[in-house]
Amino acid sequence: MLRAITVITFAAAMFLGNASYADAQPAPAGKQIAVNYADLNISRPAGAEVLITRMRAAAAQVCGPAPDVRDLVMYRFYRHCIVETVERGVAALNAPVVTEVYRGNTTLVAAAVE
114 residues of the chain, pLDDT tens digit each: 567 666 654 433 333 333 334 333 344 456 888 999 999 999 999 999 999 999 999 999 999 888 998 999 999 999 999 999 999 999 999 999 999 999 998 665 555 555
DSSP state, residue 90: H
CA dihedral 106, 109, 111, 114 (to 10 degrees): -120
Beta strands in the chain (DSSP E): 4-8, 15-16, 25-26, 32-36
> Within 10 A of 57 (CB to CB), how many other CB atoms are there?
15
Q: Is the peptide bond before 65 cis (omega within 30 degrees of 0)?
A: yes
